[in-house]
Amino acid sequence: MNPELSKIQSSSIALSPLITKALKKKPTKPLGERKKAVLRQELMVLLGNTCVVASSMAVSLPSVSLTQLTSKDDIYQLSTEESSWFASINSMACPFGGLIVGYLMDRFGRKNTMLLTNLVGIIGWALLVTAPYQSSRHDIFLQLLVGRFISGLMMGAAISPIGSYSAEISLPRIRGRLILGTSIAIATGILLMYVLGYLIRNQFQLICLISGIYQCVAFCCVLPMPESPSWLLQKGRSEKARKSLKYFRGLSENDKTTYDEFEKELALMKKTSDESRTEAANESLLQAVRSPEVYKPLIMMIGFFFFQQFSGVVIIIVFAAQIAMSAGVSVDPMLVAIFVGIARIITTFFISTIFERWGRRPAGMLSATGMTISMFLLAANGWYPVIGEHLPLLPIICIILHIIFSTLGLLTLPFLMISEVFPQRVRGSANGFTLFIGLTFSFSIIKLYPSVQSLIGTPNSFAGFALISLIGLLFIIFVVPETKGRTLLEIEKYFRTGRRVTNAQVARRQSQIAMEVAAGNYSSQYELDEVIMRLSKLHEDCEACENE
């Protein structure tokens, strides 16, 4: 057996005293984890996420505006059918934004795609602001739909560029923190729109104008961002890539000192880019989809997005104020919407810690369980009004708990795991297609909800969401694998062979790596990444030999 592999398979209990002793020696931080580098990375991710904030404001716009838009005393006077189209048409456009953004990112780069996305958003808000100047109600409604559709394109395209950018400029130890910034940006945008709706009542045009001005600010925020060094290397722009990576590693542009760690990282990034291009050129997409490590996670993620969308998560966000009124909430519905936004943004700050300590599956199971209970209680409150008489705050508590539990897992996990479960050679295409399907589900539920609610009633609608959440719990238990602590090779191997990597195997590998890191055996995080990938591959090859 290979000596490196035997180290991994040795008992973690036997290694524990050695690890404790070794960890007393604090290793030198890699360049990318030092204070100046981290501050630069965090600043650029913050600037890039300003567009995500704007897209989330567009998502929650119906919640604060439908009361005015459907009023018979207002210029808009939308019917039930028209208001459902207003609320859902942006979700119809989202999948198309998700599909084209992959091409735009590969063709024009992460930064330019973010600029283009902001420009599309500005056009969408401008159409909404100027809609009342049309001569007839029909033309007003038509322009509202066009504006919402264009905003939907922005929403579908907003998340992927900054997500890829965050992953490509950072090292693994802080990558999760930076990617988490997108979830915080989404929650912030929703909360901002709720606050606008609370402070500026029945002022749809003014709300859209403020949102459009913010989108212009978001466009300006992207201008100073350096392009991703990985994308620059893929396009053969080596000098610009070197300059960009220097910035993100806290080095001066004019610094002529040769840093071995920096040069190794740059060389490894170039090697990875070259290998990715070669694999993509040698295998067609149709051939790749036939592989179990591709079609199995594809089917799983489509199922995951189905339960995410049809469990009522998006409905609570889009129709928060309306649902509060339907549930019999006695306080101001817009205030309830603000509570929902605050609950979500606070919960988002704890997601990374929860996922890393508990794992993906336990967090998902807790999420689905809590959502099921919350929705069943809301349904019971509608079926038996006497409950609301004795517990008047029950609807508010259930709505807020639903958003907290959904944020803990079912709302966030699919977007996290989509970057883990697909092989590198098809990751971009598979992500784009999965998001297309997921966002199509989102459009379907938003469009159907008002009609379903009118047909079967609000309590039965809540009960339906609870039932889907319950089935989602079973889906997570029996279908979704644990990816915490697993390397990308191990995840790919699971879908290809069906063999799970146990927690004990993960612990043994991490123990060995911890010893060697503490002993200073690796000069950079990228060198460590290569070792982890190689050890995982050795484990797989050795198992294959034993089976033969």
Both 233 and 375 in one domain: the answer is no
Q: Are residues 76 and 218 in the same domain?
A: yes
Answer yes or no: do 541 and 476 share one domain. no
pLDDT band at 19 (very low <50, low <70, confident <90, very high): very low
Cα 410 to Cα 289: distance, rounded to the nearest angstrom: 26
174/227 Cα distance (integer angstroms) = 19
Whether 483 and 516 share a structural domain = no
Give residue 531's pLDDT.
55
More confident residue, 144 or 325: 144
Mean pLDDT of 375-394: 83
**What average pLDDT does the structure give for the chain?**
79
Task: Answer whether residue 259 is part of any domain.
Answer: no
DSSP assignments along 501-534, one per residue: PPHHHHHHHHHHHHHHHHTT--SSHHHHHHHHHH
**Lowest-pLDDT choice from 39-53, 67-81, 170-184, 236-250:** 170-184
Q: How far apart are CA 540 and CA 23, in angstroms?
A: 28
Both 246 and 332 in a single domain? no
Other CB atoms within 10 Å distance of the CB of residue 547: 8
- Give dist(CA 71, CA 210) in Å, integer: 22
The verdict on 240 and 294 lying in the same domain is no
195 within a domain of the structure (yes/no): yes
483 and 521, same domain (yes or no): no
Q: What's the confidence (pLDDT) of residue 46?
A: 92
pLDDT score at 216:
96
pLDDT level of residue 538 (50, 70, 90 thresholds): very low
**230 touches 269 (CB < 8 A):** yes
Burial 122-149 (b: 16+ CB within 10 A, else e): bbbbbbbbebeeeeeeeebbebbbbbbb
Are the C-beta atoms of residues 28 and 48 closer than 8 Å to each other? no
Q: What is the pLDDT of residue 71?
A: 85
User: Quick one: pLDDT at residue 321?
Assistant: 65
Overall average pLDDT of the 517-539 stretch = 52
- Residue 147 has a pLDDT of 94
Residue 545: its pLDDT value, please?
A: 44
Rounded to whole angstroms, how far apart are CA atoms 151 and 157?
Answer: 10
Question: How far apart are the two ends of the chain, measured CA to CA in Å?
Answer: 15
Residue closest to 459 by CA, chosen among 368, 380, 399, 372: 380
* pLDDT band, residue 359 (cuts 50/70/90): confident
The average pLDDT across 175-202 equals 83
What mean pLDDT comes out for the span 128-134?
92
Task: Read off the pLDDT of each residue in 433-440 and give the average, rounded to a whole number.
Answer: 83
302 and 241: one domain? no
CA atoms 518, 522, 526, 527: torsion sign? negative
Tell me, yes or no, whether 486 and 510 share the same domain: no
Three-state DSSP class for residue 487: coil
In terms of pLDDT, which residue wins out, 260 or 279? 260
Report the candidate in 217, 210, 220, 214 with the shortest Cα–Cα distance to residue 129: 210
Q: Same structural domain for residues 333 and 424?
A: yes
Domain containing 347: what range? 289-501
pLDDT band at 305 (very low <50, low <70, confident <90, very high): very high
Sort 458 into a burial class: Cβ within 10 Å, 0-12 / 13-18 / 19+: buried
What is the reported pLDDT for 368? 95
Q: Is the pLDDT of residue 10 over 50?
A: no
pLDDT band at 20 (very low <50, low <70, confident <90, very high): very low
Kindly state the percentage of the chain with pLDDT values over 90: 22
Residue in 452, 481, 484, 482 with CA at minimum distance from that of residue 468: 452
The answer to whether residue 540 is domain-embedded is: yes
Q: Is 72 helix (H, G, I), strand (E, B) or coil?
A: coil
CA–centroid distance for 74 within its chain: 37
Q: Say how far apart CA 43 and CA 134 lie, in whole Å.
A: 42
Q: What mean pLDDT is predicted for residues 212-224?
A: 95
Instruction: Assess whether pLDDT exceeds 60 at residue 12.
Output: no
**pLDDT of 15 higher than 60:** no
pLDDT at 532 over 80: no
**Which tens digit of pLDDT belongs to each residue from 465-498?**
999 999 999 999 999 888 776 766 677 778 888 7
If asked whether residues 379 and 415 sit together in one domain, one would say yes
Within 10 A of 357 (CB to CB), how many other CB atoms are there? Answer: 10
| pLDDT band at residue 303 under the 50/70/90 scheme | very high
Contact status, residue 243 vs residue 253, Cβ threshold 8 Å: yes
Last residue of a domain, one of 201, 233, 252: 252
Contact 191, 128 (CB under 8 A): no
Decide if 3 is inside a domain. Answer: no
- Residue 155 included in any domain: yes
> Which two tokens mark 107?
């063709």
Rounded CA-CA distance 249/241 in Å is 12
The dihedral over CA atoms of 414, 415, 416, 419, expressed in degrees to the nearest 10, equals: 100
**Residue 172 pLDDT:** 62
Phi-psi sector, 312: left (phi>0), alpha (psi -120 to 50), beta: left
Which CATH number belongs to the domain containing residue 241 in this structure?
Answer: 1.20.1250.20
More confident residue, 367 or 418: 367
Is the confidence at residue 501, as pLDDT, over 80? Answer: no
Instruction: Please determine, for residue 61, whether its predicted confidence score (pLDDT) is greater than 60.
Output: yes
Q: Is residue 5 part of a domain?
A: no
What would the 3-class secondary structure string for 290-318 be? CCHHHHHHHHHHHHHHHHHHHCCHHHHHH
In a domain, 217, yes or no: yes
pLDDT band at 547 (very low <50, low <70, confident <90, very high): very low
Whether 1 is covered by a domain: the verdict is no
Considering the domain architecture, whether residues 154 and 195 belong to the same structural domain is answered as yes
Torsion-angle region of residue 391: left (phi > 0), alpha (psi -120 to 50) or beta? Answer: beta
Number of compact structural domains in the chain:
3
> Given this model, what pLDDT does residue 543 score?
47
Q: What percent of the chain has pLDDT over 70?
A: 78
- Taking every pair of Cα atoms in the chain, the longest distance, rounded to a whole number of angstroms, is 80
Kindly tell me if the per-residue pLDDT of 67 is higher than 60. Answer: yes
What is the Cα–Cα distance from 42 to 170, expressed in whole angstroms? 9
